[in-house]
Amino acid sequence: KAGVTQTPRYLIKTRGQQVTLSCSPISGHRSVSWYQQTPGQGLQFLFEYFSETQRNKGNFPGRFSGRQFSNSRSEMNVSTLELGDSALYLCASSPQPGQVGVETQYFGPGTRLLVL
């Protein structure tokens, strides 16, 4: 079974631009979560989607948004990029959204975003 795929793997943008990152979950997985990883703040939860609905959201400004499609693929968008948005953005998928327990999440390789 193919793992979680993220595109693109590397991206360079300038301040003020916007960016869209894509994540394809493992086949059959319906829950997708996004995390931001930076040297200063570490790994931080952005949001989680299931059945095209955002179920959970981290403490990030409204410039960060996401969506999920009917085939469970997900995109996240960052508008008006700032230098501090430079990070590795990781996507993780799991079969279910963890309503009772916490499902094991499988991470993709990430998209490394550099904002100049």
Partner 1 sequence: AQSVTQLGSHVSVSEGALVLLRCNYSSSVPPYLFWYVQYPNQGLQLLLKYTSAATLVKGINGFEAEFKKSETSFHLTKPSAHMSDAAEYFCAVSVAGGGNKLTFGTGTQLKVEL
* Chain positions contacting partner 1, by CB under 8 A: 4, 31, 33, 35, 42-45, 48, 55-56, 58, 90, 92, 94, 97-110
Nearer to partner 1 by Cβ, of 22 and 79: the residue is: 22
Q: Is 32 exposed, middle or buried (0-12, 13-18, 19+ CB in 10 A)?
A: buried
**Residue 74 contacts by C-beta under 8 Å, 6 or more apart in sequence?**
22, 23, 25, 32, 34, 49, 66, 67, 68, 91
Min separation Cβ 92 and partner 1, Å = 8
Count of all residues that appear for the chain in the document:
116
Min separation Cβ 87 and partner 1, Å = 13
Min separation Cβ 24 and partner 1, Å = 13
Nearer to partner 1 by Cβ, of 8 and 109: the residue is: 109
Is the peptide bond prior to 61 cis by the omega test (within 30 degrees of 0)?
no
Nearer to partner 1 by Cβ, of 13 and 107: the residue is: 107
CA-based nearest residue to 32, from 88, 77, 76, 86: 76
Min separation Cβ 16 and partner 1, Å = 28
